[in-house]
Amino acid sequence: MDLVKTLRRRIGAGHTALGTFVVELRTPTVARFLQQGGFDFMLIDTEHGQFDASEVSAHIRAGKRWGVCPLVRVSGPERGEIMRALDDGAEGIMVPMCDSADDAERAVEFSKYPPLGQRGAHFARPHTEFAPPDDLGAYMERANRELLTIVQIETSAAVERVDEIAAVAGVDMLYMGPGDLSVALGVPGQVTHPQVLAAAAEIGKACQKHGKIAGSHFTHPEALPELHKRGVRFVGFGAVVRMVQQSVINAGAAARKALESS
């Protein structure tokens, strides 16, 4: 849990934690590239990604090895998915499409140990390096305090209930998905539309009121100053597969241009 502790300290000091989503790319080498790029965290995406359990585990281990905090986005507030991700050593989970306090409470129930939740206790797993802690109570208390439970606000229903969602004990962060939110608000793809910005303001207000971390996705670096101004301290920049794709396109274009001019 050292990486998420560092992440929390960075956010607590007023800095912004920078990460990205890992989807499609199955090689755990991705974590090394992210470390070289200065990323603080990686979100292993099992909502949209077709990773099997061993691939998720490999990404988590690689993130820990290279100092890039490994988090897992699950497909929903489902007990087995959340438990396996955390037992594999993920230092937090993200639950998409959290539309109500009930959804948020289920995310907490499955990700936190008692008394906050009902996470199953199994200590011969990677999250404890296969060694049961000397003091189980202290370990569980620390896990509840440090591991991140993140809920995504992506629909108009979620925005309407954002204050109730943010009030749920055990939720650590509200993360805005501008793309899905723009679709839900009837302005698909227009992430700077006044309706989307107004929703972002409501999310930020709820986070501030209830002491939660405000997070957001973004795809253009020029959006960062505005997000920071709005109190966002956890940002997910696109996806690694897009970065690889663009790098290949740029490299190919540069090589082709050099060939044509020779």
| 213, burial (CB in 10 Å: exposed 0-12, middle 13-18, buried 19+) | buried
Answer positive or negative: Cα dihedral of 237, 243, 246, 247.
positive
Residues 6+ apart with CB under 8 A from 160: none
DSSP three-state, residue 153: strand
Is 228 labeled as catalytic in the residue annotation?
Answer: no
CA atoms of 135 and 140, how far apart (whole Å): 9
Contact predicate 203/159, CB 8 Å:
yes
CA atoms of 4 and 156, how far apart (whole Å): 30
Query: ∠ CA 70-98-144 to the nearest 5 degrees?
Result: 50
Active site residue: 15, 48, 122, 220, which one? 48
How many CA atoms lie within 13 Å of 78's alpha carbon, on the beta-carbon side? 13
CA atoms of 28 and 3, how far apart (whole Å): 17
Residues forming the active site: 48
